[in-house]
Structure 1
Amino acid sequence: MNAPSPAAPAAAPVRVEQAAVAYGARRVLDGIDLSIAPGERVAVIGPSGAGKTTLFRLIAGLVKPAEGRVHTLGRDTAALAGRRLARLRREVGFLHQQDNLVPQLRVVHNVLMGRLGHWWLPRALLSLLWPQDIGRARAALARVELADKLWALPDELSGGQQQRVAVARLMVQQPRLVLADEPVSALDLRLGREIIALLCGMAARDGVTLLVNLHTLDLLQGHFDRVVALRAGQLFWQGAPAQISQHLLRELYGAEYRALHLDEMELPA
């Protein structure tokens, strides 16, 4: 009997090939080559203006490459429009610095907004009057330890709790790829660690590929498979978190190095 053929390796959820983004004459990203493996957890770091947020928008199909190609979840983003682009965005979860909760709606409604891309318009509108999948929302809130806040309003919650609700919204969306753009920069270090642990735990449990734009480098260790560093719109360095040194950070951050207190991190020289 012939042995079964080995399964073909899964395609990279993110593949960026010599991509550039320009606003007028100014290049925000230039010559970016990057591939992210299925289920990989990647932190993106770099000084202000390095192009980190633009990279996330490029991957999500929110901006088109001026040069090069970007394939997200197997699709060439430059060729997408209309329903095909909407379908991609349904499979890509975005988490921002601000949680983007609707303050007039209760937590259950905000969580179920993650399902809007999966529902027909009549069901989505009906859900604003009466939540259409309370069990799913309750289960997601239980995973972020907020099961008792189902009917609360966002302004009744702390900042950390609001960001947990945003993570629960991602969970009900069931994306294949999550892009978290500085999701904890408005939180203190303890709460930031909790949110990063939640995101990485969700990614591991649900088989989701995760990219996180991090401002606080104390959160790198113990959560991420790889770190990608951008400087001046170009890929400066990539490697394992354990490979980061003070010398690397001085070169990467330049004038921001001491202002961000990076010299206080316990790293090899």
Structure 2
Amino acid sequence: MTHTHPAIHLNRAAVAYAGRRVLDDFSLDITPGERVAVIGPSGAGKTTLFRLIAGLVKPAEGEAVTLGRDTRQLRGRALARLRREVGFLHQQDNLVPQLRVVHNVLMGRLGHWWLPQALLSLLWPQQIARARAALERVELGDKLWSLPDELSGGQQQRVAVARLVVQQPRLVLADEPVSALDLRLGREIITLLCDLAIHERVTLVVNLHTLDLLQGHFERVIALCDGRLFWQGPPEAIDQTLLRALYGAEYRALHLDEVALPGQSADTPDDDTRA
């Protein structure tokens, strides 16, 4: 039996801003290739967790090891190498509106290119075939020379997924990537991300605002509350009692009593794990 190091290893990690603990005593392991959803109320620390994993913030206490690297020790080129291997997808797609789709997609290669090649690509895109192939994977092969404002919101987020395809990261962190989209489009983007993770053997961690999107996509769900790990387990183990305890006052405002939960139609044993 081979031993595989975790893609993400947090050991009693804490992050503080202006003296206030945003994450505290946080321990978590995520295995390579695992697809994990992160849920929790506003202000729970979900975005800070993503920044910690990516090495954008350092732990004030404990340790954060991402893709085998202790982020506390990373500086300069070592930190740049880690960020090349971590793909980010944000709530806003972060496309450059003045640049055509082909340029935006090829930005995923910037971490792999020398500066002269990157500058040349702004004048005439390098590796156009790679960009076109990535766009075809997200069904936008005909939008290579379009400008972002000529695309719908769902299409713009698909371009951002194509940018991840050309980046070839080992880990993708998607921070509320579909909160600006309707449920149908959101489901399409989550499906694209999970297909990417499966086919490229990429570790995927998604911060989800819409719990309807848990169905059929993720192997594990991690719930945060007040900067701590509140619960973790399979999606099928989530029930309304757990959601009421997790979301508190937000439960009714978010209409969580109407959410179609993965396990609610089946008789699922109560095997959740309190952290």
Please give the range of the TM-score, normalised by the shorter of the 2 chains.
Answer: over 0.9
Q: Which amino acid aligns with 1:31?
A: D
Partner of 1:217: 211
Separation of aligned partners in 1, 2:18 and 2:181: 35
Alignment partners' CA distance in 1, 2:10 and 2:209: 23
Alignment-mate amino acid for residue 184 of structure 1: V
2:90–2:176 Cα contact (<8 Å) kept: yes
Give the match for residue 156 of structure 1. Answer: 150
Question: Residue type of the partner of 1:265?
Answer: V
Q: 1:3 matched to which residue of 2? A: none
Equivalent residue number for residue 93 of structure 2: 99
| Partner residue, 1:69 | 63
Alignment of 1:189-208 (within 5 A): 189-208=183-202
Distance 1:266 1:182 in 2: 19
Give the distance between the partners of 2:108 and 2:257, measured in 1 at CA. Answer: 40
State how 1:160-171 maps to structure 2 within 5 Å: 160-171=154-165
Give the structure 2 partner of residue 108 of structure 1.
Answer: 102
Q: 1:30 and 1:220 mapped to 2: Cα distance?
A: 26
How far the C-alpha of 1:10 sits from its partner, in A, is: 1.9
AA in 1 matched with 2:255: H
Match in the other structure for 2:116:
122
Q: TM-score, normalised by structure 1?
A: 0.97
Contact residue 87 and residue 173 of structure 2 kept, 8 A: yes
Q: Does 1:137 align with 2:131?
A: yes
Code of the aligned partner of 1:113: M
Q: Partner of 2:25 in structure 1?
A: 31
Aligned equivalents of 1:51, 1:178: Cα separation in 2: 18
Shift of 1:266: 3.7
Give the unaligned 5+ runs of structure 2. Answer: 266-275
Question: Structure 1: any 5+ residue segments left out of the alignment?
Answer: 1-5
Other-structure match for 2:182 = 188
Correspondent of 1:81 among 61, 64, 75: 75
Out of 224, 230, 235, the residue aligned to residue 241 of structure 1 is 235
Letter in 2 for 1:104: Q
1-side partners of 2:260 and 2:13: how far apart?
35
Query: What do the CA deviations read for 1:129-151 (whole angstroms, capped 9, x no partner)?
Result: 11110010000000000000000
Give CA deviations for 1:194-222 in whole Å, capped at 9, x if unaligned: 00000000000000000000000000010
Question: What's the offset of the Cα at 1:24?
Answer: 2.2
Structure 1: which 4+ aligned runs deviate by more than 3 Å?
266-269
Q: Tell me how far 1:244 sits from its aligned partner.
A: 0.2
Counterpart pick for 1:173 among 167, 170, 173: 167
Q: How many residues align?
A: 263
Q: Which amino acid aligns with 2:224?
A: L
SS where residue 184 of structure 2 aligns?
Answer: helix
Assess if the C-alpha contact under 8 Å between 2:212 and 2:260 holds in 1: no
Q: Which amino acid aligns with 1:98?
A: Q
Aligned to 2:43: 49
Q: CA deviation at 1:265?
A: 1.9
Question: How many angstroms apart in 2 are the aligned matches of 1:198 and 1:211?
Answer: 14
> What secondary structure does 1:69 align onto?
strand
What CA RMSD, in Å, does the superposition of the two structures yield over aligned residues?
A: 1.0
